[in-house]
Amino acid sequence: MPEPEPAAGGSPPLAGAPAAPAALRRDGRRLLRAAGRRFRALLGLLAAVTVVRVAATLATPVMLGRAIDAVRSGRGLGAAVAGLALVLVTAALADAIEELAGTYCGSRITAWLRHRLIGRVLELGVPGRRRFPAGDVLARLTESAGGPAAFPALLLSGAATLVTTAGAVVALGLIDWTLALVFALGVPPAVLALRLFVARAGEPFADYQRHQAEIGTRLLDARQGARTIRASGTAGREVRRILLPLPLLGAAGRLTWDAQGQVGWRLSLLAPLLQVAVVGVAGLRLATGDVTAGGLVAAASYTSLAAGAAALFDTFVALLNCEVGAGRVAEVLGAEPAVRPPARPVPLPDGPGALRLRGVTVRVGGRTVLDRLDLAVPPRTAVAVVGTSGSGKSVLVATVARLADPDEGRVELDGVDVADVALPELRRAVAYAFERPAPLGATVHDMIAYARPGATRAEVRRAARTAAADGFVRALPAGYDTPLAEAPMSGGELQRLGLARAALADARLLVLDDATSSLDTATEMRVTRALREVLAGRTSLVVARRPATAARADLVAWLDAGRIRALAPHAELWADPRYRAVFAAEPGEPPDAAVPYAAAPGPAA
C-alpha cells in the first residue's frame, strides 16, 4: 500500500528536553562499540597495519642512531643503512595502507548508521516526526552520522600515539634512565589538562550540534512555505525567526573554543619544554661519555616521538565529537516507534472487508480526539467520514491500518484485531490515498507502482485511467517514463496519481483521506465514475469535506465530539441543520449534486 502520511493519531512522543551530555556520550559510545563489533574484521586489519606502522616508527630512531655510529666507526655501514631504509619504507607503506583502510572502514560505518537511522525514522511513524522534525533528522543523517566515520582511525591513532609515546619513553630509559625520568615528569600535567577538557567540552559540543539542527529545521519549514512568505512580504521576519538560535549556537561554539584554547596552550607549551629538558640532559650525559653521539640523536628522535602525545588533544577533540554525533543517532534509534509489530502475528483471514472500531480512544498532545468511539462498517460498503475541521477524521482512518495506534480500544478487520496482524500483511489489505500524496519513485510509472514495484505498464496504465490520470501522463515529455523531477503537476494531478497508486493495490479496504480535495467538481465526478469498477466488492472509507462527496457514499459516519453521532445515508442526515453546518459547501451546490453510489451497480466511493 502507499506510504503512511495522514495526520498523526495516538499518543505521540512529544519533543522533550534534550538528552544530558553525559547520557548522550554514553549512548554514543555504546553505538560505536556496536559498530566495532559489526565491522571487527575491518578493524582487525586496520589494527594490524597500525601495529606495523608503530613498530617501524619506533625502530626508526634506533636504526638512525646505528647508522650514525656506523659512519663514525666505519664498520657495518651497509647493513645499518639497509636497516634504516627498510624501516622507513615499511613505515611509509603501513601509513598509506592504514589511511586507506581507515577511510573504507569509516565509510562502511557511516553507511550502516545512516541506513539504520533512515529505517528507524520511517518506523517511528507520523507521531515520531513531531519529536524529530525534518531539519533535525537531516542534521543527524548528515553531520551526526558522518562524524563517527573517523572513529576507527581516530581510536587507533590515539592508541598508536599512546603506544608510541610509551615505547619512546622505554627507549629513552634504555639509552639512559635519567632521560626517561625527565620526560615522565611532564605526563601528570598533560593527563590533568586532557581530563579538564573532556569535563568542560562535553556539554558545549552537544549544544552546538543541537542548535545547528534547530536552525536547519526552521530553514526547511520556511522553504516549504516560501510562497506564503513571499506573498506576505515577511522574508525579513522569517530570516530573524530562522536565525533565532544563532546566539545560542555562537555561545556554545565560544565555550567549546575556550575549553580547547585553555588546554591547547598548556600542551603546546609543555611539549617543547620537555624536549628541551630531555635533549639538554642527553647533552650532559654525552659530555660525561654515558651516551654516544648516535644515542644523542636517537634520544632527540625519541623525545620528539614522545612529545607527539600532545597531538592526543586533537584526537580527544575529534573523538568527543564522534561520541556526541553517535549519541544523537542513538537517540533516534532508541526512540519508541508509533506502532510496534505484534510479537505473535496471526493471519488475516480472507474476507469482504468488514471493519469495526470498538471503544477507540485517541489522545493527541493531551487532547482527546476520539473518545470511546464505536463504528461498524458493513463489508463492500462505501462510508463517508464527515466532521468539522479538527474533529479527528484523519486520525480515525489512520487507526484502520495501524498508521497510528489508539490509546484504548481495538480496531477489527474481518473479525481480527489489526494489532495482531503482521504489518506487511495488514498494509496489503488496506490501501490509502492521501490529500497530498508523496511523489516517491524515480518516474511517474514508479510513483503509481510504488506499492507494487513489479506491476506491468499495462496494469499501471489501467490504474491511471481509473483515476483519470492517463491523459495528462501521456502528455508529459516521456509519458510514464518521465522523471518526477521533470514532471510539473498541479495539486489535482498529483492527487490523481495518488488515487491511481491506491487503485493499483489489490486491497480489500480502500481509504481515501481527503484524496479528491484538489479536484474540481467535474474531474471528481470523472474520477468517481472510473473508481466504481475498482471499488465494486470492496469496502471504502472516504474522508469527505464536500456534501457532494458524502452524497455519493452509501452511508455517512458523522463524527462529532470524538464519537460517531450518526451512521446513515447523507440524504437522511441533511435534514439536520447541525449536519449541514459541518460543510463549507460552495454557494448553490445542492446536497445531492451528484448521483449517489447506490444508483450505480455495486457500491463504490
Q: What is the pLDDT of residue 126?
A: 61
Is 470 a residue whose pLDDT tops 60? yes
CATH number given to 22-333: 1.20.1560.10
Amino acid 8: pLDDT: 37
pLDDT at 496: 85
Tell me the per-residue pLDDT of 166-198, one tens digit each, with 9 for 90 and over: 777 787 777 777 777 777 776 777 667 667 666
pLDDT band for position 131 (cuts 50, 70, 90) = low
Q: What is the mean pLDDT of the chain?
A: 79
Give the model confidence (pLDDT) of 67-124 as tens digits: 887 887 777 788 888 888 898 899 899 888 888 888 888 888 888 988 988 888 887 7
pLDDT of 4 reads: 39
In the predicted structure, residue 345 carries a pLDDT above the cut 50: yes
Q: Is the pLDDT of residue 247 over 80?
A: yes
d(CA 445, CA 447): 5
The count of other CB atoms within 10 Å of the CB of residue 234 is 15
Which CATH number is correct for 355-599, 3.10.20.30, 2.60.120.200, 3.40.50.300, 3.30.1330.10?
3.40.50.300
235 vs 445: CA distance, rounded Å: 38
- Give 274 or 584, the one with higher predicted confidence: 274
Confidence of residue 515 (pLDDT cuts 50, 70, 90): low
Can you give the pLDDT at residue 268? Answer: 65
CA angle 279, 281, 286 (to 5 degrees): 90
Note the pLDDT of residue 434. Answer: 83
Residue 329 confidence (pLDDT) above 90 = no
The whole-number pLDDT of residue 314 equals: 72
CA distance 353 to 145: 43
Q: Assign 591 a pLDDT band (cuts: 50, 70, 90).
A: very low
Q: What ranges do the domains of the chain cover?
A: 22-333, 355-599
The H or E element that residue 123 is part of is helix 77-131
* Residue 598, pLDDT score: 32
Phi, psi of 485 (to 5 degrees): -65, -20
Question: How far is residue 594's CA from residue 529's CA, in Å, rounded to a whole number?
Answer: 11
pLDDT reading at 260 higher than 90:
no
pLDDT of 271: 66
Count Cβ atoms below 10 Å from residue 336 Cβ, excluding itself: 11
pLDDT at residue 354 tops 80: yes
pLDDT digits (tens, 9 = 90+) for 435-451: 788 888 889 999 999 88
pLDDT of residue 459: 92
Banded pLDDT at 327 (limits 50, 70, 90)? confident
How far apart are the C-alpha atoms of 352 and 184, rounded to whole Å? 82
Query: What average pLDDT score do residues 301-316 get?
Result: 70
pLDDT of residue 396: 92
Q: Which residues contact 267 (CB under 8 A, 6 or more apart)?
A: 190, 193, 310, 313
* Out of 8-17, 344-353, 498-507, 564-573, least confident range: 8-17
Residue 123: CA atoms inside 13 Å, Cβ hemisphere, count? 14
| Cell triple for 52 | 606495523
Question: Which has more confidence, 583 or 221?
Answer: 583
What pLDDT score was predicted for residue 15? Answer: 39
More confident call, 105 vs 519: 105
For residues 493-506, average pLDDT: 85
The C-alpha cell 552520522 sits at: 145
Can you give the pLDDT at residue 21? Answer: 65
Instruction: With a cut of 70, say whether residue 44 has pLDDT above it.
Output: yes
Q: Contact 423/435 with Cβ under 8 angstroms?
A: no
pLDDT of residue 266: 66
State mean pLDDT over 156-167.
78
DSSP of 276-343: HHHHHHHHHHHHTTSS-HHHHHHHHHHHHHHHGGGGHHHHHHHHHHHHHHHHHHHHHHTSPPSS---S
Least confident of 17-21, 288-292, 341-345, 506-510: 17-21
State the alpha helices, DSSP H only, in 185-307.
Answer: 187-224, 226-232, 235-242, 246-287, 293-307
| pLDDT range class, residue 564, cuts 50, 70, 90 | very high
The pLDDT assigned to 13 comes to: 36
Q: Are 592 and 598 in contact (CB under 8 A)?
A: no
Which range among 17-26, 316-325, 556-565 shows the weakest confidence by mean pLDDT?
A: 17-26
Bigger pLDDT: 109 vs 521: 109
pLDDT in tens, 196-239: 666 676 677 778 777 877 887 788 777 777 777 777 778 888 88
Spatial distance between the Cα atoms of 528 and 10, rounded to a whole number of angstroms: 31
As a whole-number percent, the residues of the chain with pLDDT over 70 amount to: 82
* pLDDT at residue 416, rounded to an integer: 93
Q: How many CA atoms lie within 13 A of 409 on its CB side?
A: 25
* Residue that wins the pLDDT comparison between 464 and 186: 464
Residue 101 near residue 42 (C-beta atoms within 8 A):
yes
Q: How many alpha carbons lie under 13 Å from residue 167 in its C-beta half-sphere? A: 21
pLDDT of 398 above 80: yes
- Does position 356 have pLDDT exceeding 90, yes or no? yes
Tell me the pTM.
0.64
Query: What is the Cα–Cα distance from 268 to 255, expressed in whole angstroms?
Result: 20
Q: Mean of the pLDDT values across residues 155-167? A: 79
What local confidence, expressed as pLDDT, does residue 127 receive?
54
Residue 311 class from Cβ within 10 Å (0-12 exposed, 13-18 middle, 19+ buried)? middle
User: Mind listing the pLDDT tens digit for each residue in 357-384?
Assistant: 999 999 887 889 999 999 999 998 989 9
